[in-house]
């Protein structure tokens, strides 16, 4: 296990935190695309579209070209959603981290530091749904510093902070495609208690599930 330390966020960490968040979010883009393609509603729709184009044009080349154009359009839509999400969080949340997380006594933002470099981060805020719960959010560790216990230590930091503040539980929300994160949370002791379905291009599409976890 590499050496690292965890401390509270400082204003000078802004650029590093934004970079970590952007990098950590965008790395899930390929998995998101693959997950969408594997969804029954999506590939059945694509299959029907291809069959319709083939019947209408009698040309495999033209039908495959049209299908490729549709897939490229889908890629662009998902990529745009990822980029817009990163920009939104950086503007509304991380741009003024001190006000968002550091002013109140029951919220905080920490960074993990190794060799003088910020390599991880996590935040804690009171839940808007329950007065007894604290939310763990913005957990991210740089790609070159994973499997060193940093993510686990950051999670435990939030859990300890929640206990100090008198909260009865810590909850979090992740994405269905974040397999490693889900395994980490379960190893620590978080339990899945709800699955949210978000509105998507195909209605309540199973590609847009967000597992919610909590730990007492």
Paired tokens of 101 = 């997380």
Task: Print the SS3 string covering 41-58.
Answer: HHHHHHHHHHHHHHHHHC
**Residue 6 clears pLDDT 50, i.e. is over it:** yes
pTM of the model: 0.82
Query: Average pLDDT, whole number, for the chain?
Result: 87
CA distances (Å), origin 120, targets 59, 84, 212: 52, 22, 22
Sheet strands side by side (includes 133-141): 5-8, 108-114, 117-126, 133-141, 169-173, 209-215, 191-197
Q: Model confidence at 145, in pLDDT bands (50, 70, 90)?
A: very high
CA distances (Å), origin 96, targets 15, 32, 101: 12, 29, 9
Q: Which range is least confidently modeled, 3-17, 33-47, 150-164?
A: 33-47
Report pLDDT for 26: 92
**Residue 135 clears pLDDT 90, i.e. is over it:** yes
In angstroms, rounded to a whole number, what is the distance separating the alpha carbons of residues 98 and 132? 23
In angstroms, rounded to a whole number, what is the distance separating the alpha carbons of residues 185 and 154? 11
**Residue 200 clears pLDDT 90, i.e. is over it:** no
CATH classification (class only), 5-10+100-215: alpha beta
- Residues of the chain with pLDDT > 70, as a percent, come to 90
Closest alpha carbon to 67 in 86, 84, 54: 54
Q: Model confidence at 203, in pLDDT bands (50, 70, 90)?
A: very low
Q: Model confidence at 206, in pLDDT bands (50, 70, 90)?
A: very low
Count of helices and strands (H, E) across the chain? 7, 7
């Amino acid at each position: 296990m590499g050496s690292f330390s965890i401390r509270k966020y400082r204003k000078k960490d802004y650029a590093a935190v934004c970079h970590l968040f952007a990098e950590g979010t965008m790395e899930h883009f390929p998995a998101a695309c693959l997950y969408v393609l594997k969804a029954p509603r999506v590939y059945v729709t694509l299959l029907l579209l291809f069959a319709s184009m083939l019947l209408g044009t009698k040309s495999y080349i033209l039908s495959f070209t049209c299908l490729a154009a549709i897939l490229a359009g889908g890629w662009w839509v998902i990529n745009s959603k990822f980029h817009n999400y990163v920009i939104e969080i950086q503007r509304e949340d991380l741009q003024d981290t001190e006000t968002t997380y550091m002013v109140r006594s029951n919220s905080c933002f920490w960074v993990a530091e190794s060799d003088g470099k910020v390599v991880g981060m996590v935040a804690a805020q009171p839940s808007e749904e329950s007065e007894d719960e604290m939310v763990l959010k913005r957990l991210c560790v740089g790609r070159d510093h994973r499997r060193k216990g940093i993510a686990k230590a950051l999670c435990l930091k939030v859990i300890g902070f929640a206990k100090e503040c008198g909260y009865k539980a810590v909850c979090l929300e992740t994405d269905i495609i974040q397999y490693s994160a889900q395994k980490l949370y379960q190893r620590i002791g978080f339990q899945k208690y709800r699955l949210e379905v978000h509105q998507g291009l195909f209605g309540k599409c199973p590609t847009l599930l967000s597992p919610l976890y909590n730990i007492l």
